[in-house]
Structure 1
Amino acid sequence: MIVVGSGVIGLTTAVVLAERGHSVLVRSREPAGRTTSAVAGALWWPYRIRPEDRVGDWSLESFAVYGELADRPEETGVRMVEGVHEGGRLDGLGAWAADVPELRVATASECRSGEGLWARLPLIDMPTHLRWLGARLAAAGGAVETGTVTSLASLAGSSGEARVVVNCAGLGARDLVPDPAVRPVRGQLVLVENPGVDTWYTGPESPSGGSTYFFPQPGRLVLGGTAQEDDWSTEPDPVVADAIVRRCAAVRPEIAGARILGHRVGLRPVRDAVRLERVRLPGGGTVVHHYGHGGAGVTVAWGCAREAADLVESGDA
């Protein structure tokens, strides 16, 4: 079968399918290292994703996997790191929060505003993690190739290349399906030399779409961010970058003098709800749609991938 898309959703789904014994080829218009997933800050947390009644299970299943992968951080890119969600409240979270170990109300010394949540969560170095996923896929017999997909129907069915196609195209699904419900939410980041920050931090979003967060990653500190709806620009805005640094430095003053290493922009593939369903095409082929994860693709990747694989196999019964 063919999996369209080489971001974290596509590669994780391909790994699950290949390890269940399926012959899997991932096809993507760009390599994994150039996807939106590659520039993500990648803190595990259900963020901008629906439906709420399914997100909790997907997230917790993924949390369990990342907990195991954190035993090999240099290989997998996954670490368990402490930090604070300033402004967060336990009663504002879903039922899933009760099953997150060590999630609690932050103490006054841990949170500058006096209200927030402290947690030890998976924090993922995405370039490393994507390479690890690719290697794990190859070990299971799968392969990745670069190529443009213009039609799902041309890939699936008796006259296509595969009996089943799994559509993990992310924002590309807007044109490929087509599905105009998929739209971009632009996120801009600043990478700086880490001045000694070893905990993550997130603050409340402003009405304008600006937010404050920083994530210590190997060799860098990732500063953010933005959530600009329907903005397709992938060029870093220097004015936005300066504002990001100022907001983060207001929380940790040492960030103000940190040397800037680079700038990153990613377009989150947001949809009113994740589309995860099996569809029979008029020509006889089958597509399992698996897209619309917004800014929480990493958070739900393993839970969603296993459900997508179940949908693939439901047609074999």
Structure 2
Amino acid sequence: MRAKSKPSRDVAAEITNLIVRKLEEGVAPWSRPWRITGAGGRPLRHCGTPYTGINTLYLWAIADACGYRSRYWMTYRQAEALGANIRRGESGSLSVYYSNFKKTEANPITGAETEKSIRFLRHYVVFNADQIDGLPAYFYPGAESTDLADPSARQSAIDTFFEAIPAEVRHGGDRAFFHPTFDYIQMPHQRSFRTMDHYASVRAHETTHWSGGTDRLARAFGRRFGDQAYAFEELVAEIGSGLICAQLGLPNELHDNHASYVAHWLGILRADKTAIIHAAAKAEQAFNYLLAFSGGDREESPDSAPVEVLPEAA
């Protein structure tokens, strides 16, 4: 008698369910967890390369849910190669990437054959360094410093990032928005914000909207998300703002998470289990587009060594 095959994991559903749960708890994974981890910043592979796309949000959410402070994640074999051991009883987390295969289809009328490329989601299992014994010391975060980061040093990074972006920014009034028709960003005066960090966080949100303009990345979600397209664009802008804030080392106590949109986001994510993967990919694209103006690179670990890594979702 043949053994029953093990059902495949619905990876997209697992990711979406965790993001939905964190939103329901009032914790948006793109606006808080980079300061939960001891060193801040994006999750890192064992070689020090930052994760991108949905893996950034998902591993931030896992770290927040489980209290992990290390930024580093690795497979069982990678830990073993470093002479380390996964602690007994520890459960791994998912890291995802897209793969594809070619399929030839024949036209039933003409018989002409065409080749289609079909993408599908794959995954592998990773563990946080906090679940592993015997790693080199730099994989584990040190004691958290109670000293606040130097605001002037942070301001320099903020200025460098935003001044290079050729968006028209107008100041005045009490609202922040991007005007797609006339292609400008409206911001309240800087003195209206509690701190320049708060100003930078809001400007990051609106600048992410700007990146999607018709002459730039031309984001349009009307056909896929219909009446929810506006809320989906807000989700992309919130994730993009979170990535920018993490890049600039801003504190995480900056966001109101655009609470009025949370119910819409939950509706979108519950209706389409791949929506958060799509949103994360679009936000990553926007982040890279904006970062390129200042010639910036994602921060990387100084202890990293180049190794082969698996590709992941765009």
**TM value normalised by structure 1:** 0.30
* Bigger CA radius of gyration: 2
Point out which structure has higher relative CO (alpha carbons under 8 A, 6+ apart): 1
From the two aligned structures, give the one with the greater helix fraction: 2
From the two aligned structures, give the one with the greater strand fraction: 1
**TM value normalised by structure 2:** 0.30
